């Protein structure tokens, strides 16, 4: 079995230790461990964390391989410090059958840089008309536990109720893209004084909040599990806090970009800032940060949404919604959150690894850095800042809102199932790894 000795790393930013990996597991943790037969990797006093888990990724395969593939998206995820991603179902064909989810799962396994967990569609073709084969997807080799029509909202309350009831039978969860369709017809950016001034159709907060309120009540009524995707308004945070106080089984995510960026970026009409849900006001951003810090919002999820140039190099109204997220997630979260009291590496690990793994039931992920646990570890250089250059991304697409921005920290190394998959910030192709074995 391959043996790796990581010397001088600081788990959760705490005291410096050595970590021995044997095969896919952490075998020993201590100071000045003997090298023995191990390959030695010097951690240079950097921070070691359980590698991240993204509950909301668009890998675009099958169907839009010009934007991203499972292979390129897996590499982008690894470079971002992730060891598991949940792939959204709005592909072409839609992941609404056991056949499609198994295909995504198998390709992810073959690629081998992260574990790819397919999300199943709630409704056939994400068309919102009838339930997809949830049970068949759950019982498939892909073992689907998270279902979402993301991109679309399950807006029919009866269908939403049926879906919530159905997933209870196997302990699944419905992840809702909360967007009341009638209130957002033609919407282009956050509804505000600014949207009127820019002449862009407004997207009111109530379009998100009305669905969240309804779904909280539905989930409570049928005693099932609801997960709320990409929360973007202060009012949504209030609703989720209210639900949790009443014991409703609800979890929620926020994206790095909603923690950091505001609607004012639309002023230049650059569609790289066009996203669904839209960037909101500063007051919303502050409420989202506070909600993530106090646990009202459970996790960070990237909503990594690759688009080819032609979908973004056009007028704002014609451009596609969405931004890249995997390769910049940590830097954006650190920049947004590090000033908050009580925010530390353990809290960040909880929001970016432990809890997303729990919500998605991703076994072997989000586990502590401890003996006997899976060796899924990210090593972070906290002493550097990085100027973001999308041409360096592993992703096929380049629609990053952080282009030319400076973000703190850098992902130095990633160990996935004990394999050194990212070294000094670069993906290690599997052939290279084997040549070292
Ligand atoms: Zn969405």
Let me know whether 213 and 185 are in one domain.
yes
Q: How far is the CA of 29 from the centre of ligand 1 (A)?
A: 40
Q: How far is the CA of 110 from the centre of ligand 1 (A)?
A: 27
Domain-ending residue, one of 360, 391, 412: 360
Structure tokens at 45: 């006093």
Identify the CATH number of the domain in which residue 178 sits: 3.20.20.140
User: Average per-residue pLDDT in the chain?
Assistant: 97
* pLDDT at residue 398 greater than cutoff 90: yes
pLDDT (mean) for 234-245: 98
Indicate the pLDDT class of residue 340, thresholds 50, 70 and 90. very high
Let me know whether 406 and 299 are in one domain.
no
Indicate the pLDDT class of residue 1, thresholds 50, 70 and 90. confident
pLDDT (mean) for 155-176: 98
Let me know whether 272 and 300 are in one domain.
yes
Q: How far is the CA of 177 from the centre of ligand 1 (A)?
A: 5
Q: How far is the CA of 150 from the centre of ligand 1 (A)?
A: 5
Let me know whether 261 and 385 are in one domain.
no
pLDDT tens digits, 20-54: 999 999 999 999 999 999 999 999 999 999 999 99
Let me know whether 321 and 427 are in one domain.
no
Instruction: Report the number of distinct structural domains present in the chain.
Output: 2
Q: How far is the CA of 151 from the centre of ligand 1 (A)?
A: 5
Let me know whether 178 and 258 are in one domain.
yes
Q: Is residue 238 part of a domain?
A: yes
Q: Is residue 365 part of a domain?
A: no
Structure tokens at 436: 């070292």
Active site residue 303: yes
Domain-ending residue, one of 360, 385, 405: 360
Let me know whether 383 and 351 are in one domain.
no
* pLDDT at residue 138 greater than cutoff 90: yes
- Residue tagged active-site, from 18, 303, 381, 413: 303
The answer for residues whose C-beta is within 8 angstroms of residue 231's C-beta and 6 or more apart is 178, 208, 212, 237, 240, 252, 253, 254, 258, 288, 291, 297
pLDDT (mean) for 221-229: 98
Q: How far is the CA of 173 from the centre of ligand 1 (A)?
A: 16
Check: pTM over 0.95? Answer yes or no. Answer: yes
pLDDT (mean) for 110-122: 98
User: CB within 5 A of ion ligand 1: which residues?
Assistant: 150, 177
pLDDT tens digits, 341-392: 989 999 999 999 999 999 999 999 999 999 999 999 999 999 999 999 999 9
Domain residue limits at 236: 52-360
pLDDT tens digits, 262-317: 999 999 999 999 999 999 999 999 999 999 999 999 999 999 999 999 999 999 99
Domain-ending residue, one of 292, 326, 360: 360
Q: How far is the CA of 384 from the centre of ligand 1 (A)?
A: 32
Indicate the pLDDT class of residue 437, thresholds 50, 70 and 90. very low
Identify the CATH number of the domain in which residue 384 sits: 2.30.40.10
């Amino acid at each position: 079995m391959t043996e790796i000795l990581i010397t001088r790393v600081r788990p959760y930013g705490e005291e410096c230790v050595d970590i021995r990996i044997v095969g896919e597991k952490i075998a020993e943790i201590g100071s000045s461990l003997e090298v023995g037969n191990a390959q030695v990797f010097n951690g240079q006093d950097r921070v070691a964390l359980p590698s991240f888990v993204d509950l909301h990724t668009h890998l675009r395969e099958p169907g839009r391989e010009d934007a991203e593939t499972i292979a390129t998206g897996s590499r982008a995820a690894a470079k971002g410090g992730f060891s598991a991603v949940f792939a959204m179902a709005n592909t072409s064909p839609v992941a609404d059958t056991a056949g499609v989810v198994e295909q995504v799962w198998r390709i992810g396994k073959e690629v081998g840089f992260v574990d790819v967990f397919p999300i199943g569609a709630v409704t056939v073709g994400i068309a919102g008309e009838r339930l997809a084969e949830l049970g068949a997807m759950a019982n498939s080799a892909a073992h689907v536990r998270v279902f979402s029509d993301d991109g679309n909202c399950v807006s029919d309350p009866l269908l939403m109720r049926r879906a919530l009831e159905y997933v209870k039978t196997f302990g699944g969860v419905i992840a809702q893209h909360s967007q009341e369709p009638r209130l957002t017809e033609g919407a282009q950016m956050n509804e505000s004084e600014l949207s009127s001034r820019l002449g862009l159709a407004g997207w009111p907060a109530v379009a998100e909040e009305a669905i969240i309120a309804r779904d909280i009540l539905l989930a409570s009524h049928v005693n099932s599990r609801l997960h709320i995707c990409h929360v973007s308004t202060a009012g949504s945070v209030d609703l989720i806090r209210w639900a949790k106080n009443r014991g409703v089984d609800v979890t929620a995510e926020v994206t790095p970009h909603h923690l950091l960026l505001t609607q004012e970026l639309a002023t230049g009409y650059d569609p790289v800032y066009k996203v669904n849900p839209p960037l909101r006001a500063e007051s919303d951003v502050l409420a989202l940060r506070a909600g993530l810090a106090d646990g009202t919002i459970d996790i960070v999820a990237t909503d990594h949404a690759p688009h080819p140039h032609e979908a973004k190099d056009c007028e704002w109204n014609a451009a596609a919604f969405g931004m890249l997220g995997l390769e910049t997630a940590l830097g954006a979260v650190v920049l947004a959150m590090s000033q908050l009291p009580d925010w530390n590496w353990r809290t960040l690990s909880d929001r970016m690894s432990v809890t997303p793994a729990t919500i998605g039931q991703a076994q072997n992920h989000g586990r502590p850095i401890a003996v006997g646990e899976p060796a899924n570890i990210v090593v972070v250089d906290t002493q550097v800042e990085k100027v973001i250059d999308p041409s360096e991304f592993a992703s096929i697409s380049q629609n990053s809102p952080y282009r030319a921005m400076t973000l703190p920290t850098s992902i130095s190394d990633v160990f996935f199932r004990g394999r050194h998959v990212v070294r000094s910030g670069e993906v290690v192709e599997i052939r290279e790894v084997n040549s070292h074995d």
